[in-house]
Amino acid sequence: MSDTTLSRADPSHVATIQSSYMAEVQRRRLYGGLTLLIFVLLMVSGFMIADDRNAGGFWEGLSQVGDYPAEVLSEAWEKRADLPGLLVKYFPALIETINIAAVSTLIGAAAGLVLSLLSTRGLARWPRLIGLFRRIMDIMRAVPEIVIALVLIFVLGGGPVPAMIAIAIHTAGALGKLFSEVAENADLKPVEGLASTGATWGQRMWLGVIPQVAPNYLSYGLLRFEINIRASAILGFVGAGGLGYELRNSMAWGPGRFDEAAAIFLLLFGTIVFFDQLSSRYRNRLTEGDRT
């Protein structure tokens, strides 16, 4: 049963390997320790700078953090009888908000899909332009939605369309980056197989890459939809309509309409939970369908 390949090398040889590996371990530990030290220093200094520049001061304000939510909750609790009526009253606004989110997610995801394939190494239609498409996506992500929305509201007037365009632009940039990272890990063999049959770039992407990455794309898209529901609510603050507009009016301190604010928060929370449940169920079916 003895085998030459299993015989031990001479002991000094093992000692060499041991000491060289230990040296490497020491070096890695040193680097790890230094990284940890830099991380801690950055955390502490960052916190101190933020605390200095803060108008009120973190420690003094900490005790008052609960004041606003407490007042909202207590007032909403006093007027709890009105809540069902308010939920019904704001439901149309919620539909408008979801509408903005859905349309902008669809448009943004379609644009992100094209941008991602154009900017993935190994898949790009024009490999030299990868950098260009990446920078385009960077710009789309870099400009805050609220800035684009404000500019568009100035040009087009208030309403849901500027909000939709603003969110779609940000979504295209954000999803494009995530999609492209997924596409980078896709198996290139099916693509090569399709190329060998004389398929065009569009055919190779649609038939060779998309089936592999579809579950991941869908799950990123649904996550983005949740984010966009919240984003479209926020854009209501600057006059883009929907739930956000109502929320801004009701949550200001003073007029005593915190019951309405509570109703709107409940609607938003319920919507997010609903779509989260829906998307996880749908996603599970998609991935399980792949296995069988």
Partner 1 sequence: MLEIDALTKRFGPNTAVDAVSLTFDKPAMIGIIGASGAGKSTFLRMVNRLTDATEGRIIFEGTDVTALKGKARRGWQSRCAMIFQQFNLVPRMDVVSNVLHGTLNRRSTLATMFNVYPEADIHRAIEILDRLGIAEQAPKRAEALSGGQQQRVAIARALMQDPAMILADEPIASLDPMNAQIVMDSLRRIHEEDGRMVIANLHTLDTARRYCDRVIGMRHGRVVFDGRPDQLTVGVARDIYGAGADFSESATSTDLETLDRQPDAAATAKAFV
Radius of gyration for the chain, computed over Cα atoms and rounded to the nearest angstrom: 27
Report how far residue 144's alpha carbon sits from residue 162's, in angstroms, rounded to the nearest whole number: 13
244: tokens are: 């956000």
**In 54-188, where does DSSP find H-type helix?**
58-62, 67-78, 83-118, 130-142, 145-156, 160-184
Sign of CA dihedral 232, 236, 241, 244: positive
What tokens were used for 144? 């805050």
Which of 12, 28, 87, 223 lies at the binding interface for partner 1 (CB under 8 A)?
A: 28
Handedness of CA 149, 150, 156, 157 (dihedral sign): positive
Comparing CB distances to partner 1, the nearer of 1 and 65 is: 1
Write the binding mask 231 to 270 for partner 1: x where contact by CB under 8 A, - elsewhere.
Answer: ----------------------------------------
Residue 38 binding partner 1, by CB under 8 A: no
Which region, judged by CB under 8 A, interacts with partner 1, from 23-31, 52-60, 133-141, 268-276?
23-31
Q: Which stretch binds partner 1 (CB under 8 A): 25-33, 39-47, 187-195, 254-262?
A: 25-33
User: Is 29 or 281 the residue whose CB approaches partner 1 more closely?
Assistant: 29
Tell me the C-alpha to C-alpha distance, in Å, between residue 71 and each of 75, 79, 171, 272: 6, 12, 35, 24
The residue range among 9-17, 88-96, 110-118, 216-224 that interacts with partner 1, by the rule CB under 8 A, is 9-17
Q: Would you say 22 or 286 has its CB closer to partner 1?
A: 22
Centre a 10 Å sphere on the Cβ of residue 150 and count the other Cβ atoms it contains. Answer: 17
* Shortest reach from residue 5's CB to partner 1, in Å: 5
According to the binding rule CB under 8 A, does residue 1 interact with partner 1?
yes
Interface ranges with partner 1 (CB under 8 A):
1, 3, 5-9, 13-14, 17-18, 20-22, 24-25, 28-29, 32
